[in-house]
Structure 1
Amino acid sequence: MSRTRPPDDGDELLARLGALTAQARERAVLQRSQVELAIALQRGMLPRDLPSADGFHLAVRYAPATHGLSVGGDWYDAFRLPDGRIAMSIGDVQGHNIEAAAFMGQVRAGLRALASVTGDPGDLLARTNELLLSLGSDLFATCTFLRLDPATGVLESARAGHIPCVWATADGRSGIADNDGGGPPLGILPGIQYPVTRYVLTTGGVFVLVTDGVVEGPSMHVDEGLDQVVRLAGIAAVAGLDAAALAAAVIKGAERVGHSDDAAVLVIGHDAVRGPRTQP
């Protein structure tokens, strides 16, 4: 015997589908608003101007995540210290949401505030690590902090779980500055000491700092990505390209990694004629 559906069942089903569609639309709008807020928060906390010194130039490039509703917590920063040296940082917060963007702001603000107390990169990362632990957040951040002395060309660097820097000199040598070993990311373990490594940025030389979105993704292993940056830095140093041109080339190369993550690049270039220097 056939069973017939009451005539109002179809109307009820359509009404339920309509309600679910409206709820999904509202959630999508809310999520999109959160992403837009996080991106605005990120951009608002990145520095508008970069410090400069005779013969040294900084250049940055930043590409926010553009896939779906993801938003990351990458940042870069550069500012002058009280003693005239230039501080630089680059980093990446775990997570892809508005909380990650807000935590990024806390890390960046903490680094700036503590830099007025100590400019030593290792001590600064150790103090920032303790500060973040005191906040009780579940998030953590990788970071590289550098201090440049324009009078000597000396770069002091400390890393907290971050991608190592890349260097290149005008005489055709280039490589990855990974001999410091670094330490764990910020906000995970208390009582960590971060070793400091010193380099000298020679005439025509460059240092390149990146976040992992530049060198690692579904289509590229991190080693391959870093090798790509090494090649670009080597070409730029030998050809005498400025820091801005190199930063643009590195961020363009990030398209090959197949990622949906943020990508940030910071380049330090030395274009003045100075006396002999010890090579990195």
Structure 2
Amino acid sequence: MTGGTEGKGAKWPHRPDLLTRLDAELGRIDEQLRALAASKDRLQSLLDAVVAITREQELSAVLRRIVTTAMDLVGARYGALGVVDESGEYLAQFIAVGLSEQEHAALTEVGFPRGLGVLGHLIHHPEPLRIDDVSSHPASAGFPPGHPRLRTLLGVAIGVRGEIYGDLYLSERRDGRPFDVHDENIVVALAGAAGIAIDNVRLFEQVRAGSELFQRRLLPTLPDMRPFDAAAIYRPAAAPHHVGGDWYDAILLPDGAVAVVIGDVVGHDLHAAAAMASTRHMLRALLFAMRTPPSAVLAQLDRTLEAITDNPVTTTILARIEPAGAAWRLRWSTAGHIPPLLITPDRRAAYLFTEPGLPLNVDSRQIRPDRTHPLPPDTIVVFFTDGLIEHPDHSIHESLDELADLATAHAGLPLQDFVQALADHHPSDGHDDMAILALRTPGRKRTGPQRHG
């Protein structure tokens, strides 16, 4: 009996150690799952914030909403947005949130900050700024009488059309911890969407009486896409006072790839234009926040549109042009949109036909695959909306063939002239608005981009 008992004891000499290690591993897995859930919740909060901002129609309401949503996202006790003056040296406007009535009255008496000290540092150095102890920062100039004594700071610049519009300041997390890199990333993503929202609401106030100008200015001016050439053009429909939902965007991503999107919201009124703007804002926020294939970004966008908007049905293509050895690769996902057109260096045209899938805001459970296609140097990829090709007297295939011939005939032009030619000589009847965005991959002899449209 004794020998048998000793044998059983010898069989599990380290059982307590195994249980301890198992508990530790389960704890680690639980922590990772909690972090993943928190990240998902924070991403959804970001999208909700973007939607809330874009629903405001007055600039003052937009600016205040930006501050309050940023505070909610990172759990900050104080927040402010400073708008720089025309010189770009000082703050012309300062929207502060979180102050008590007494603190607000005291600062009103001495005057709100104009952009000196640490705030001035962010004006002149617009990179994201995280400070654990404001008083120890070299640029710190102290606080005026009545100002709360702040210890931590997270500052992010807000840009509008390539210019610094202002700076978003957050201070004192409610849990007492300093701001971390996750706080910084989500506020940077919010600031990107906020810049578009500020731009759009200012434009909306300016062009209420001019629908064509309103539509044109909702669309972005393409940034410098170097080493790519890039150009885009929008043409309104022939009908007077027509406002459409055609849109495009292009973003140079940190990994050297380019994100490109083109889409068309169903409808020809202000509701369609507003839906286009909000969809574009949300997609840009997702592109900054997610590092996933286009299909995953579209799937998240679709779920958000279905859950929190009444936007009309939208067709779109989201693509990445990414490095692939010495050349490039197109990776894209489509939601019911017409395929892109490829023009190779030897002037051959080919449409990248795939199963189009369902448009956005129809069924978010729909699986959206990614497609890939190699892109040799000096290849043009043309994204466009159906207003470029629809004609009641021609079949869609006839119009596509005519567009391919037109594109190959003008492929040698500078890219801005190329898209201009497509818009001038399009095969459609002009009853719908149209948008075109073209990119040319770097060629061995090409040293820089053409002027963007």
Give the TM-score, by structure 1 length.
Answer: 0.77
User: Which residue in the other structure is 2:352 paired with?
Assistant: 177
The one of 259, 262, 268 aligned to 2:430 = 259
Q: Report the AA paired with residue 329 of structure 2.
A: V
Query: Are 1:101 and 2:273 counterparts?
Result: yes
User: Which residue in the other structure is 1:80 paired with?
Assistant: 252
For the Cα contact (< 8 Å) 1:236–1:242, is it kept in 2?
no
User: Which residue in the other structure is 1:44 paired with?
Assistant: 217
CA distance in 2, matches of 1:36, 1:196: 42
Q: Calculate the aligned-residue CA RMSD, in Å.
A: 2.2
CA distance in 2, matches of 1:245, 1:37: 26
User: Alpha-carbon deviations, 1:111-132, whole Å to 9, x = none?
Assistant: 1011121341111111111111
For the Cα contact (< 8 Å) 1:202–1:270, is it kept in 2?
yes
Query: Are 1:155 and 2:330 counterparts?
Result: yes
Cα distance change, pair 171–271 in 1 and its aligned pair in 2 (3 A) = same
Cα distance change, pair 244–166 in 1 and its aligned pair in 2 (3 A) = same
CA distance in 2, matches of 1:97, 1:260: 14
* Mapping 1:111-260, distance limit 5 Å: 111-116=283-288, 117-137=290-310, 139-150=312-323, 152-178=327-353, 180-237=354-411, 240-254=412-426, 256-260=427-431
Q: Report the AA paired with residue 332 of structure 2.
A: S
Cα distance change, pair 108–253 in 1 and its aligned pair in 2 (3 A) = same
The one of 238, 243, 252 aligned to 1:71 = 243
Q: Report the AA paired with residue 415 of structure 2.
A: A
For the Cα contact (< 8 Å) 2:380–2:439, is it kept in 1?
yes
User: Alpha-carbon deviations, 1:153-183, whole Å to 9, x = none?
Assistant: 21111111111111121224221111x3131
For the Cα contact (< 8 Å) 2:222–2:232, is it kept in 1?
no
Cα distance change, pair 51–159 in 1 and its aligned pair in 2 (3 A) = farther
CA distance in 1, matches of 2:253, 2:391: 35
Q: Report the AA paired with residue 444 of structure 2.
A: V
For the Cα contact (< 8 Å) 2:316–2:334, is it kept in 1?
yes
For the Cα contact (< 8 Å) 2:232–2:437, is it kept in 1?
yes
CA distance in 2, matches of 1:136, 1:49: 27
User: Alpha-carbon deviations, 1:210-269, whole Å to 9, x = none?
Assistant: 1000011324332222112211232344xx333222211211122x42132111111111
For the Cα contact (< 8 Å) 2:305–2:311, is it kept in 1?
no
CA distance in 2, matches of 1:61, 1:69: 19
Q: After TM superposition, give the deviation of residue 38 of structure 1 in Å.
A: 4.8
Q: After TM superposition, give the deviation of residue 136 of structure 1 in Å.
A: 3.8
Q: After TM superposition, give the deviation of residue 207 of structure 1 in Å.
A: 0.9
Identity %: 33
Which segment drifts farther, 40-49 or 169-178? Answer: 40-49
Q: After TM superposition, give the deviation of residue 84 of structure 1 in Å.
A: 2.9
Q: Report the AA paired with residue 197 of structure 1.
A: R
Gaps of 5+ in 2: 1-205, 446-453
Higher relative CO (Cα under 8 Å, sequence separation at least 6) belongs to: 1
- The total of aligned residue pairs comes to 237
CA distance in 2, matches of 1:136, 1:59: 31
Q: After TM superposition, give the deviation of residue 92 of structure 1 in Å.
A: 0.4
Cα distance change, pair 170–262 in 1 and its aligned pair in 2 (3 A) = same
Gaps of 5+ in 1: 1-32, 275-280
For the Cα contact (< 8 Å) 1:51–1:86, is it kept in 2?
no
Give the TM-score, by structure 2 length.
Answer: 0.49
